[in-house]
Structure 1
Amino acid sequence: ITTPGRTRLLVGLTGTGRNLAESALQRFAERAYRRPLQPGEIQRIMALYDQATRDGAGSEEALQVAVTGVLVSPHFLFRAELDEQGEPNTAIGAHELASRLSYFLWGSFPDDALRRAAQDGSLLTDAGLTAQVDRMLKDPRAARLGTGFAGQWLQLRKLSEHEVDPNAFPSFTPSLRTAMIEEIERFFNRLVATDRPVREILTSDETMVNGELARHYGLRVTGESWQAVTLPKGSGGLLTRAAFLTVTSNPNRTSPVKRGRFVLDNLLGTPLPPPPPDVGAIAEDAKAMTEASVRERMEIHRRNPACASCHSVMDPIGFSLENYDGIGRWRETDGPHPIDPSGEFPDGAKFAGVSGLKNVLLKREDELVRYLGERMLTYAIGRGMRPSDHCHLDAIRDEAKRRGCTMKGLITAVVLSDPFRKRSPSALPSGN
């Protein structure tokens, strides 16, 4: 432990020698374990300190040995429910709830205020839990929700490794890739911080860009730093952002299939089955194919009856986004072919372009809210949903609607839900 580290460890404490060390290690271990120590735990930690001093270590070196013992403990490395043998679907303890909440919203340890709410029991009430959500979402650490949850939900981590053909898109750079990811994180965090309606994930005409990303979109800004911009009416929202449009494209061209499947999987929660194993890819080297537009290629592919049922749902969504190329820039043509962004679902519903797609999706806003709640809950408790969770997902949606269907309202509904506040069946420790 360096001298500054030792100072932080001991700050605010009184006493000398071993008594001071015990007070410091008690406080440190409670923060590291995210709960009050159990009987016998401080004695085991102090045994490390005592053994080090018997071996000739000074007080500072002995503190380092004991701190190391805390940091290699499973109680620090894993977040686990203390009563692993308890009945499923019973309430977890206040300190476990505090830990679950802090890692959901902040991706880190509970702070002193949250620990106090756990200690005095107020965190176990609806009002106390809601108050902590309100407080924590105002804290700068809530920006980690965009990095963690939005990064997982919107596949931003895949974009970090997504291959882009430099011959097809020579303007694509590593810094542009990074800016695309950061835009979505900032976009999501702004919706949360300003408590915007959930529907604005699709409709918001406000975003954040830096100089390079602004030029990519054809926007005029002053300077290279990140700044808020208002987009032309109707041209904003997730579906027009470069990160989404790039990660759902092939390296050298767009992919209506990937874009359509992303919307079904990640916005509506209606995944399609995998393709039959004997269905091959489109024959890209065939002359008719290489001269065809993407839309014409997909229509040829859909002639296969084994493909038609799924592609009839995915492809119209993807076609409506064809005005955006493989890295999210607006275009009017696909090579020599004019873009046709119209689509029609099997039920006869017709739409054209991204604005038409948004209108279709907004008519299914209940599904969007319910599925976003499901993805948030999955992220928050570290497990997938079970059939028994369906009623809880309906309750989360209904509670979010009661709270105005805003981003904070949905987050609060997730936190107030039974799966968040209760022990999961067959609970296993989850890594930090």
Structure 2
Amino acid sequence: MHWHVHKDGSRLYHAYRKAGQPMPVAVAIGTDPVVTYCATAPLPPGMDEMLLAGFIRKAPVEMVPCLTVDVEVPATAEIVLEGYVNPGETRIEGPFGDHTGYYSPAEPYPVFHVTAVTRRRNPLYFATVVGIPPMEDAWMGWATERIFAPLLATQWPEVVDMHLPPEGVFHNLALLAVDKHFPMQARRLFQGLWGAGQMSFTKVLVALDDDVDVTDVAGAAKAVLDRLRLPEGIVVTEGVLDALDHSGLRPLWGGKLGVDATRPLPGEPGHGEPPPAGNPPPSEDELLGFLRDRCPGLRACRIPLPEARLTLALLVLEKTRAGEGRDLAAAALEHPGVDVAVAVEGRAEDPLRLLAWRALASLDPVRDLFLRDGKVGVDATAKGPGEGYDREWPAEVAHPPELTARAAEVLRRLGLE
């Protein structure tokens, strides 16, 4: 049973394990899509997902008892597996391709003993496709964002809107539109969210004023580069990470980054002063020529928003040694026209979305972010033993070409291209 340590299944299993009792379990496969979604929803501990499903459906979810365990399941499920889990009995499971776009590690999980299988006539086995985003689950993340953003505002009323871009796979990046009223309000919001339910797993929080549409990622990124004051706007700390986040030196915890790109209020540094003017950005070819002799593995320099006040440079490399990404980012900051340098692995032709996903997945802010003379360098490359990372860095999920071709053919036949 692939129960992550922070989730309800693991919490319930822990209670049975402490009591020394087997835990009854039922697995419902192929439920009403609303029920399937609600199983993923970030509800408070102990709140029944079926209540949320009934609220969204505007009708109760019909439940029926299992045959061999004292558990109820949705009556319309296609397949139901019944059984139990013994306390303390585990086996190695994995690796699995996951929604993060990486293969999750092989780890010990509880063993499920099946006592009965029931099914509908000619049942359908429901599944989803995972991999490098965006995939099907991106739309489930969008639903969570839209459904739960108003609830977030009941605890933090300054949050006007929120966006979880697919490149951040729901827990690596959150963009927040904030209506500020007092100094350091964005900082208080960061600390609050890093201690709140599933938002506590979010690695990077970005606060913008409420005149910015955070669902427009390109526009939000430009607003950050136009309004951010360095180094005052950067907050780095440590906290819990999602079980699928591999970036930290140790499992389940690591660095956090808060980016406060809101306008300073009275009492905050920079209030009443225009942001410092930036230097003209270099062209991508100019920066490539500036760095190529110092990093033979450098494949491309990308400057996605050259019109912004601060210049962000993405340095795409094929890494060959420990510390190469950090050295490259530091070298780029020596150019007077570069304010933020991010080293990320990839190919010259990789799209920006892919590079952003890879950088967010690889970043540990405590280990990888550094400041130089009011500029920011980031080593967002994969890490190894020479960089203090003693686990195996996961591989990116790859779909075999023949499978991709078959899927494209199915979509074509269904008119869904």
TM-score, normalised by the number of residues in structure 2: 0.27
Richer in strand (by share): 2
- The structure with the largest alpha-carbon Rg is 1
TM-score, normalised by the number of residues in structure 1: 0.26
Richer in helix (by share): 1
